Structure 1
Amino acid sequence: MKKVGIITFHAAHNYGSMLQAYALQQVILGMGYECEIINFRIAAQKKMYHPAFMVGTLYGRFVGFIIQITYALGILKKYRLFENFLKENLILSFKEYNTLKDLENADFCYDYYISGSDQIWNIQAFDFSYAYFLPFVRYGKRIAYAPSLGPHININKYEEINKILELLKKYDAISVREVSGSHYIESLINKPVPTVLDPTLLLTSKEYDKLISNKPLIKGEYIFVYSPWSNDDVYEMAYTLGQKYNKKVVVSQGLRNKREMLRWGRKFKIYAAVGPKEFLNLCKNAFIVCCGSFHAVVFSILFRKCFFVLDGINDDRVSTLLQITHLRNRSFSLLDNYLSAPLYIDYKSALSNLEVERQKSKEWLKDNLSKC
């Protein structure tokens, strides 16, 4: 049996990152291959996702704890839920690797190495490493499945472009996640680079149901708002929708500073103990999902939810997905009259179009694993 090693942002405490790693591994296992995720975790990424009141100076930790004191236990539980998902739902390499040098010194024996998906080729990302371009591979075939260069491509330095080009030339097959990324890579290597679906879209809602408890985390109808980073505009949209439809607004990522707590603390229900499985639960059972995130849009579509996405057309990742599903009318700015938008979404055409792209993406992956 051929063996596949995946390198991606699998250990980031970000719902989309961990779920896309899970999805890609499940798809490859389903194709009959052995598959491990190379457990590559750099120090910057580990530090970034520690609870805010557990890092920094003593004074900073104290202030962070006071700000989040009402849900500090939930934040600690959230950290454990992510780590548990990592250990229980992903098949990882036996060793953990923390640097590119660690990978170069490792004795891997994979037949295929896959880099992707997520923003692993976004050189502006705080946890970026050239390891995600597979420079450590000695033997075996190199495949890129749906890596993203980020919401907006920003690679300007000649030395960076030249280094990336040399690494791309060593790949046996390359696909990317967004049309903009496809055009950019094509301009470098002078070869066609297809766009394929983010791995989370390769699984159906029924396949994700295996991870979700039958019991909703939140009783009653609610609006779920998710943005991985602080975003007052997304919060404003969710609050306004909550006022119109008389629904409570649930936020999972917690409020990060005093200003946010003063502005939103009494307006939202903060449910912080949310790992990947709990995130799926909140999406699936929401009355409305208010999205400031690509993967919030992904799971809204998969679970056939009413959703509003803020400025999605201005984000290459979201725009590509909305174009595939013909749901561009679910993208709004705060200046739009989004309160008059219908709550009902006819998903028949959207999911039919998505299924076509799902099969194309799976076929691309299957063909290139068998050819290489």
Structure 2
Amino acid sequence: MKIAIMTQPLGKNYGGIMQAFALQKVLRDMGHEAVTVDYNSKQPGFLYSKARLAYRLAKKVTGKRKAAINFEKNIGFFTQDNQNFIDSNIIQSKYIDNDRDLKKHFKKNKYQAVIVGSDQTWRPKYSPNIYNYYLNFLVNRKKIKRIAYASSFGVDNWEYSAEETKKCAKLAILFDAISVREQSGIELCKKHLGVDSECVLDPTMLLDKEDYLELIGDRYKEGKSEGVYTYFLDSNEDKVTAAQYVADKLNTHTYKCQAKRSLDDLSSKDLNDYRIPDVQDWLASFANAEFILTDSFHGMVFSIIFGKPFLVIANKERGSARFESLLKILSLDSRLISSSYGVDSGNLNGIDWIKVNKNLLNEREKSLSFISNFI
């Protein structure tokens, strides 16, 4: 079957890249022809761009910004290594940035099914055009199967406006099957969209550890796990201090695999400070760690996949429901802490990996059955 995958734009986020890689690999291993649609909403208009330019100039003049005024034009340089991975490992369509071309693409390619997912595709603040992720461009194409796989709202409260809710509910009932990534998503679907759904695993967890080790290659140091690996999306002094505390307790060091500065930190003139390390190095950092401390959903996921002792700090601004749901399913509730102050010597070990992996295999079987049953 020829299948299109609609997910969020790839490039900046490791988790987003890996879930796209995993879902496409699963579908292709099943014998399907899967293509990830390279879609992003059109860039802001002229007036918005001029306003942003004026804001940057003001920051520059007052000395609050060291990065160049045209800093954003270097995104391709910052994400070059990630893009190389995407180009080599994920089959994508041509780039599309508007509804008209999106409709043309689907009409021309004659897909038999389209899968929306995964990651926070159904979270309005994260998706470029929320209606596109409910397939509004296919309203008159009745022969195409519509499936949501592990779509996530990110949070357990409803963030849609009244108008968005009304329009998305009408589109949701056209889906042949809907699955969500968190248990809370089942209730949100029923209450606000009027549709039934089931909870499945994030696509990254449908693959085995060995699938990722194959990508890592000789970067994996088998039998030589050492160091406390930190993967923070929202780093701060408290989290860094907590990581050092863990390292001291384990008599080791801390390390990370991220750009020196985030794209929100414009305090450096050196463009290399913003360059993102490649995906394989990021994966190897999990595989080679002795312990992992993270505030990222996919940071948590890969800690589990590689069987590493870990703690995840709840990231309420980005949505904590997704952490809670997966950890509960896998009997890992104790690994979630509300803040960096929750780190202590009593929760650095004690994971029953036999039980965890048994639960994971059961959930993986259910999730793969959902895909095979509806494709």
* Superposed pair shares fold, TM > 0.5: yes
Q: Identify the match of residue 352 of structure 1 among 338, 352, 358.
A: 358
Q: CA deviation at 1:285?
A: 0.3
- Name the counterpart of 1:109: 110
Deviation at 1:154, TM superposition (A): 3.4
**Preserved CA contact (<8 Å) 1:230 1:256:** no
For residue 151 of structure 1, give the secondary structure of its aligned residue in structure 2: coil
Partner Cα distance (1:64, 1:242) in 2 = 34
Q: 1:162 to 1:190 in 2, by over 3 A?
A: closer
Post-superposition Cα deviations, 1:331-371, rounded to whole Å, max 9, x if no partner, equal: 223343522324352211101101000000000110011xx
Contact 2:168 2:193 (C-alpha < 8 Å) held by counterparts: no
- The separation in 1 between residues aligned to 2:184 and 2:287, in whole angstroms, is 30
| Among candidates 255, 259, 272, match of residue 254 of structure 1 | 259
Q: Is the 8 A contact 2:261 2:274 kept in 1?
A: no
Amino acid at match of 2:281: E
Instruction: Supply the AA of the counterpart residue of 1:222.
Output: G
Residue in 2 that maps onto 1:305: 308
In structure 1, the residue matched to 2:4 is 5
Residues 41 and 337 of structure 1, relative CA distance in 2, 3 Å threshold? closer
> Which residue of the partner structure matches residue 338 of structure 1?
344
Q: 2 CA distance for matches of 1:169 and 1:89?
A: 33
- The answer to whether the 8 Å contact 1:81/1:275 transfers is yes
Matched residues in 2 for 1:76 and 1:213: separation? 26
**Alpha carbons 2:213, 2:220 under 8 Å: kept:** no
* TM norm structure 2: 0.82
Tell me what 1:51 maps to.
none
Equivalent in the alignment of 1:265: none
Cα 1:144–1:249 change in 2 (3 A) is same
Shift of 1:133: 1.2
Aligned CA-pair RMSD: 3.3
- CA deviations 1:228-268 (Å, max 9, x no partner) are 234444333213222333432222233538x9999xxxxxx
2:88 partner letter: E
Instruction: Compare 56-65 and 292-301 and name the one that shifted more.
Output: 56-65
TM score, norm. by length of structure 1: 0.82
**3-state DSSP of counterpart to 1:175:** strand
Aligned residue type for 2:211? E
The answer as to whether partners of 1:312 and 1:331 remain within 8 angstroms in 2 is no
The one-letter amino acid paired with 2:334 is N
Contact 1:122 1:128 in 2 (8 A): no
- For 2:285, the equivalent position in structure 1 comes to 282
CA distance in 1, matches of 2:217, 2:65: 35
- The CA distance in 1 between the partners of 2:120 and 2:12, in whole Å, is 14
Shift of 1:81: 1.1
Match of 1:143 in 2: 147
| 1:91-102 correspondence runs (5 A) | 91-93=91-93, 95-102=94-101
Provide structure 1 residue ranges, at least 5 long, that are not aligned to the other structure: 46-55, 66-72, 263-269
State whether residues 250 and 271 of structure 1, in contact with CA within 8 Å, keep that contact through their aligned partners in structure 2: no
**Per the alignment, in what secondary structure is the counterpart of residue 225 of structure 1?**
strand
Do the aligned partners of 1:117 and 1:146 also contact (CA within 8 Å) in 2?
yes
Partners in 2 of 1:64 and 1:239 — Cα distance?
Answer: 30
Structure 2 unaligned residues grouped into runs of 5+: 45-55, 69-73, 268-272
How many percent of aligned residue pairs carry the same amino acid?
32
Distance 1:221 1:61 in 2: 39
Deviation (angstroms), 1:12: 3.6
What pairs up with 1:224-243 in 2 under 5 angstroms? 224-243=229-248
Q: Larger deviation: 185-194 or 351-360?
A: 185-194
Distance 2:326 2:300 in 1: 9
Aligned length: 343
CA apart distance, 1:10: 5.0
> Does structure 1 retain, via aligned residues, the 8 Å contact 2:226–2:252?
yes
Question: Residues 293 and 96 from structure 1, CA distance in 2 versus in 1: closer, same or farther, beyond 3 angstroms?
Answer: same
> Structure 1 residues 121 and 355 mapped into 2: Cα distance closer, same or farther (>3 Å)?
same
Matched-pair contact (CA < 8 Å) for 2:242–2:343: no
Q: Aligned equivalents of 1:191 and 1:17: distance in 2? A: 26
Alignment of 1:72-91 (within 5 A): 79-91=79-91
Q: 2:322 is matched with which residue?
A: 317
Q: Deviations over 1:293-323 (max 9, x none)?
A: 0101101011010111113798111111111
